[in-house]
Each structure stands twice: as C-alpha cells, then as structure tokens.
Amino acid sequence: MATFKAWVVEKGEGGQSLAFKDFDEADLMDGDVTVRVTHSGLNYKDGLAMTGRMPVVRRFPMIPGIDFAGVVERSEHPDYKSGDAVVLTGWGVGETHLGAYAERARVKGDWLVPLPEGLSPAQAMAIGTAGYTAMLCVIALEAHGLSPEAGPAVVSGAAGGVGSVGVSLLARAGWHVLAVTGRGDEAEYLKGLGAAEILDRAELAADPKPLAKERWAAGLDTVGSKPLANLLAMTKAGGGIAACGNAAGMDLPSSVAPFILRGVSLFGINSVTTPQGPRRAAWARLARDLDLDALARMTTTVGLEEVGRLGETILGGKVRGRTVVAIA
Ligand code: NDP
C-alpha cells in the first residue's frame, strides 16, 4: 500500500480536527494528472480550512492547501506528461478536492498551468494564490483604463500576502502606492516593497460616509467591510477599486453615492475559477513584471510538518507577506 505524508482535516462529533499523518494514495480523488507536490503556500483560506473558522472545507476527510507547484508523475491528460513542472491555484482544491499540504495530489489537468518560464517552483508558490490574485486585481484596474497618471493607488491589508504582492506590483508599474496596515512596525518592510506612504488601518475603520475627500484613483482591497466602503467613498471621480478579500468582514456597508456621483467602479476578483486564458496571462505578467528580489524579501519558508500550526497565525493577521511550504 503506497502512502504519503499529508495534513488531514476530519470531522467528528467533537467538531473539526487536523492531523499530520500517512495518507493512502488509493484514497486520492479522481483526476487525470498525479503530481509530486514540491511546494505549497499559506493563504488566508488555508487558515479558515485548517481551523474550521469558516466552513470552506466541504468534504471530509480533506487535505487542506489551495495551491501547489510540483512535478507530474503520471498523466492521462494530453497537455501534460511525466516530468512536467506545473502550478495549481484554486478550483476548490483544499476545499472540495483533496489539496496541497501533502506529498502527492491528483487533479484535473484542465486546472493546471505549466510552471511559468523564469520562475522556480518555490518562487511560483511564494507568489501563490495570493500573488496571482493581486495580479488579477492590477489587470482589472488597468483594463478600466486606470494608470499612475490618474492619481495614487491604495492597497489594504498591505502587509499580508495579497497586499504585499499588490504593493510591489503597483509600485513597479509606477503608481504612488499608499499602503494601509494595522501593523505600524511593518512600515519599513512596506516601503522596501515600494510603498510611498503608510496609512493606519484605523483611518479606514470608522463608519463610512457616502462620500469623503477624494484621495486615490485606484485601489486593491483585501479586507472588505467598512474599510472597503471607506476606500470607495474616498476614490477619485472615474477611479476604481478591485475587491478580492474579506479579512475585515463579508459585509459592505456602503451606498451607491461613489458609483452614481463620481462614476467610481468596483471590480470583483475571483481567482478560483478564472479561465485558462486570463489565468495564464496573469502568470506570464507575474513572471515578467514582479520584482523577484522584493518577492524574496516578503517570503518566509516553512516545512510541511510546520504548516498545521499556522492557521490561527494567518487568521490573526500576524503573517508578514508570503509563506512558502517546502514539501520535497
Ligand atoms: P493575509 O492574512 O496574508 O492578509 C490579510 C491582511 O489583512 C492581514 O495581513 C492584515 O494586514 C489585514 N487584516 C487582517 N485582519 C483585518 C481586520 N480585521 N481589519 C482590517 N485588516 C485586517 O491573507 P491573504 O493575503 O492570503 O488574503 C487576503 C484576503 O484576500 C483574504 O480575505 C482572502 O480570503 C482573500 N483572497 C481572495 C481571493 C479571491 O480569489 N478573491 C484569492 C486570495 C485571497 P495588515 O496587518 O497590513 O493590516
């Protein structure tokens, strides 16, 4: 019986539990590509899955981990053969389909992308779902015609994973970046990634007014709730905010005022089911445009056996930048 090491979430009468154990390869779910996972990442959603804080796990037992890089071991998919380096983000992996915190994964080949040229597997997972989502946000803002000439760009949850990559990408593209953080002691870190100004998270936590003084032309929001409503109220006429996260809450206590009186736009970003075309385009942009030195500065690496204790840490907003899980 072939087994491999994996983190496994199980549900019993006492609720959800998480354990590091041997997993039987025969119990992997259906898929036409089997991958030897070499790296994964730690994302906010992985924290939710490992702790059970929100019901993101929809099937038990579940191997958590929503993204991986690895090497194809066996493939019945026409686009992939044994030895190919691949990357996966999203598609319900780590939620409804057995995930990445394991030495093996079996998935649909249609979910994979080839490892982007110019990136190592470790760098691809330093970017991970978080960085790829930040790229989708930037692309959405650009598609609306927004550019640095329009005014500053604001990034909330800036010291987190999506935020850190977002700050770096926007700064490198020439934007004057305002980084919103609750961690004043990360100011130097954020400036090192290219932030021009640091804003205290508390400034955006107040009950939002329908409109407030115009401060930025573009925004990348990872937190939702009142901070997003305040970002919208402070967006310049014709500007836009790309919203991808809910670290502050699922609600959006806003009004239509920014939309109808200033022509502000709100772009929703869902990285999970992005089709192959835009998915590969975003990865190609990341390989081309992301400052790999900045990526290294925002990245911490842990072993597979360590990731199980980091669920509460990321949900507590205590993880700086990105965490790579080195598996093999
Ligand atoms: P991180 O935990 O790394 O970053 C979140 C950051 O948000 C924290 O570091 C903190 O930044 C800030 N934050 C945390 N709690 C609060 C709070 N109560 N109020 C205001 N700010 C807070 O997570 P990720 O970067 O991995 O993910 C960020 C968000 O984006 C999550 O909600 C995640 O689910 C979502 N996401 C969505 C995707 C999609 O496809 N739509 C894909 C990937 C992520 P600081 O200390 O600097 O203030």
**pLDDT classification of 328: cutoffs 50, 70, 90:** confident
Average pLDDT for the chain: 98
Taking the C-alpha atoms of residue 261 and residue 275, their distance in angstroms, rounded to an integer, is: 34
Q: Is the CB of 269 under 6 A from ligand 1?
A: yes
Q: Encoding tokens for residue 44?
A: 């906010």
The best mutation among 135, 222, 270, 313 to test binding of ligand 1, ranked by most ligand atoms within 8 Å of the C-beta, falls on: 222
pLDDT mean over 76-83: 98
* 147-199 pLDDT per residue, tens: 999 999 999 999 999 999 999 999 999 999 999 999 999 999 999 999 999 99
246 CA to centre of ligand 1 in angstroms: 7
Q: Is the CB of 90 under 6 A from ligand 1?
A: no
pLDDT on residue 1: 72
The reply to whether the predicted model has a pTM over 0.95 is yes
* 253 and 235 Cβ atoms separated by less than 8 Å: no
Is residue 137 helix, strand or coil? helix
146 CA to centre of ligand 1 in angstroms: 24
* Whether the predicted pLDDT of 57 surpasses 90: yes
Residue whose C-alpha is closest to residue 300's, from 284, 318, 315: 318
pLDDT mean over 5-19: 95
Residue whose C-alpha is closest to residue 182's, from 54, 31, 68, 319: 319
Q: Is the CB of 136 under 6 A from ligand 1?
A: no
Q: Encoding tokens for residue 98?
A: 């057995």
* 206-247 pLDDT per residue, tens: 999 999 999 999 999 999 999 999 999 999 999 999 999 999
pLDDT mean over 121-126: 98
Q: Is the CB of 157 under 6 A from ligand 1?
A: yes
